Amino acid sequence: MTNNPFPGLPLIESPIFPLNREQMGLSAEEARIATDLFENGYAVLDFPDGDLDARIARLQANLAPRYAIDFADPGSDKTVGERRIQDAWKFDDDVRAIASNQILLDLLGKLYGRAAFAFQTLNFPVGTQQEAHTDTVHFSSLPERFMCGVWVAMEDVLPGAGPLFYWPGSHRWPILTNALVGRSGFGKPLSSAQDPFGEGWRALLQQHAIEEQTFLARKGQALIWCANLLHGGSPQHDVTLTRWSQVTHYYFDDCIYYTPAFSDEALGRLQLRNLVAINDGLPRRNVYLGEPLSFEAGAKTPQRPSFVRELTKRWRK
C-alpha cells in the first residue's frame, strides 16, 4: 500500500476503503470479502483447508470426552454443563492447524494492512446462546479495531441449534468503552466483561432498528467478523442437536493489546494482555508505533518514568 493517510485503521475499516481497495492487490474473491467486511462488518467464505473434514473428525473425537455430554444418545440434552473449551490449540494439533491456517493469515494481513496472528481458540459442541455483544469489550487494540474473529462451522447448522446472529453494519456504531458508558473499570471485577455495555447496545439497536441476521452455515464455511460487529448465539431451541464450531480470535502486529472492560484508557490504566501467537508460538509484546511499551507488559499500571518515581520518593520523606 502506498499513500495510505490512515495506517492507524485497518484497510477494510477505513473511510477511504474504496480507494484502498484499488491498491491492495486483491483477487476478485478477496475483493468481495474485503467489501463485505467494509460494508457489513462480516464476510462468509469457504475455509481454505483441503484437510478440514479429517481435522474436524479428529478434533471432535479428541474433545468430545472433555465436555461431559452424552453425544452417543441422539435424544440426550447436549447443552448441559460447560460448553466451551478455551485454547484447545495447546493440546490439539488440528485446533492449532485451523487457527494457524496460512492462507487465512495471509488474507487477514492483506485486509487489515498488518500481519495477523491468532491468539485464542474456543471450541463449542453446541450453540453458545450468548447475548448480543461486540468482541471489542474483551479484546481491543491501540490503535483500535486491529482484531477480528473467525468462526468455522464444523457441521451444517440447523435453525434449532442456536445459530450465530449479527446486525450487518453495526461495526460502524460507536465502540462502547467504559468512558462512553460512564464508569471506571480498572481493577473492578465483573461477572461478565459484557455486563456494563448491554444497555448501550440495546439502545443502539433500538435507534437503528435493523434486522438481525442468522447464519445457517454449511459445514466448512467460515465467517470473519470485525471487532465491533454486534453478534451473539441464538437460543438453542432443540437441545438434542449439536453445533460444532471453532472460533479463533486474531490480532495484528504493532499494537497494544488489552481488555477495555477492565481499563480506563484516558488514565493510562490498561488491563494489558501478554500474548503468545498460536501460529508461531512466539510472544507478541505490546508495541505502539514500533516502540515497545516502556512499562513491563502485563503490569497493571504503567510505571512512571524513573525521575518521577525518584521525586515522589523524596516528597514522601
Q: How many residues bind ligand AKG (CB under 6 A)?
A: 13
With contacts defined by CB under 6 A, name the span among 44-52, 122-130, 203-211, 288-296 that binds ligand AKG. Answer: 122-130
Q: Is 264 in the site for Fe ion (CB under 5 A)?
A: no
Least distance (Å) between residue 165 CB and ligand AKG: 8
Q: Which stretch binds ligand AKG (CB under 6 A): 74-82, 125-133, 173-181, 192-200?
A: 125-133
Establish whether the linkage from the previous residue to 143 is cis, with ω within 30° of 0.
yes
String of contacts with ligand AKG for each residue 210-249, x by CB under 6 A? ---------------------x-x-----------x-x--
Question: Does residue 41 touch Fe ion according to CB under 5 A?
Answer: no
Decide: residue 263, CB within 10 A, 0-12 exposed, 13-18 middle, 19+ buried. buried
Closest approach of Fe ion to the CB of residue 191, in Å: 17
Q: Is 123 a binder of ligand AKG (CB under 6 A)?
A: no
- Cα separation, 94 vs 310, in Å, equals 52
Does 155 interact with ligand AKG (rule: CB under 6 A)?
A: no
CA atoms of 254 and 199, how far apart (whole Å): 33
Q: Out of Fe ion, ligand AKG, none, which partner does residue 41 contact, by CB within 5 to 8 A per kind? A: none
Which of 40, 100, 123, 128 is in the footprint of ligand AKG by CB under 6 A? 128
Q: CB of residue 83 vs Fe ion: minimum separation in angstroms?
A: 14
Q: Least distance from C-beta 137 to Fe ion, angstroms?
A: 10
Near Fe ion in 128-147, by CB under 5 A: 135
Measured from the CB atom, is 12 or 153 closer to ligand AKG?
Answer: 153
Q: What is the closest distance, in whole angstroms, from the C-beta atom of residue 232 to ligand AKG in the complex?
A: 6
Nearest distance from residue 21's CB to Fe ion, in Å?
27
Contact status: 149 vs ligand AKG (CB under 6 A): yes
**Residues at the contact surface with Fe ion, assessed by CB under 5 A:** 135
**Residues at the contact surface with ligand AKG, assessed by CB under 6 A:** 122, 124, 127-128, 130, 135, 149, 151, 164, 231, 233, 245, 247
